[in-house]
Amino acid sequence: MKILITAGPTREPIDPVRFLTNRSSGKMGYTLAGAFIHEGHSVLLVSGPTHLAVPENVDFIPVETAAEMHEVVSHHIGRMDIAVFAAAVADYTPAKVANQKMKKSGDSLTLELVRTADILGAARQKFDFLGTLVGFAAETENLEENARDKLSRKACDLIIANDVSKPEIGFDSDSNEVLLVYPDRSELLPTASKHEISLQLVDEIIRLHATRSRSS
Ligand code: CTP
């Protein structure tokens, strides 16, 4: 199978020396990329800046901003069988990027932010992607309800949801506990290393893809 994976945070510039970002380490996406390769699939990893080594044999396109990630995904998604959106894409970006380093003045500063493009949301609606579509949901409350809402709004086949309010799992941690949310059911994968979880996810996603292909 040909698999596209987005991973990592994005970096939204404010001026030449500052940017907005988030706490995503990229570990989940990179570990998944390695696990798909291990199972004999081909992977294109589109990633924001991380400290991680790119797994061997993975095709890799580094990006910085949400807009760059959107552009790269729009180019490549058409030839993919499966797309997995693990990136923690910024939802907002500065309305203007200063050409020079901003100097401080006054006691407060208001930064105007504008929405970024929703890349996962564009997969079906704009890019006309027909393959198996998997998204992630990082939530601090109402995990299943919020994930199920994302599943239907973004026309995904599966949302992998995790509760990032639990410090021992998610973001920078090496372990994770995820709730798999499908249109017709949910299933909990109990806490395990991100490596172990990613092996289970690869099995689930490949099985899901096979089921979808049989019924279409
Ligand atoms: N995502 C994306 N592009 C964006 C924002 C999010 O591709 N600009 C993808 C993420 O990679 C993830 C999924 O969408 O797979 C969930 O992201 P999230 O920001 O939680 O979804 P939202 O619908 O924006 O929900 P919220 O209201 O919680 O911000």
Cα of 93 from ligand 1 centre, angstroms = 14
Tell which residue, 72, 67, 89, 194, has the closest CA to residue 138: 89
Strands 42-47 and 2-7: parallel
Question: Which residue owns the Cα nearest ligand 1 atom 29?
Answer: 91
Average pLDDT over every residue of 38-64: 98
- Cα–Cα distance measured from residue 91 to residue 19, given in angstroms and rounded to the nearest whole number: 14
What CATH homologous superfamily does 2-93+112-215 map to? CoaB-like (3.40.50.10300)
Check if the beta carbon of residue 137 is closer than 8 Å to that of residue 146. Answer: yes
Phi and psi (nearest 5°) for 150? -60, -40
Please give the average per-residue pLDDT across 36-52, as a whole number: 98
Query: What average pLDDT does the structure give for the chain?
Result: 95
Amino acid making up residue 216: S
Q: Which residue out of 118, 146, 159 has the highest number of ligand 1 atoms within 8 Å of its CB and is therefore the one to mutate? A: 118
Residue showing tokens 């990027």? 97
Residue of minimum CA distance from atom 4 in ligand 1: 118
Q: At 35, which helix (H) or strand (E)? A: helix 27-38
In the predicted structure, residue 170 carries a pLDDT above the cut 80: no
Task: Delimit the domains of the chain by residue range.
Answer: 2-93+112-215
Tell me which residue has tokens 């109402």.
Answer: 142
What tokens appear for 115 in the block? 């929405």
Tell me the pLDDT tens digit for each residue of 80-121. 999 999 999 999 999 999 999 999 999 999 999 999 999 999
For residue 117, the CA-to-ligand 1 centroid distance in Å is 10
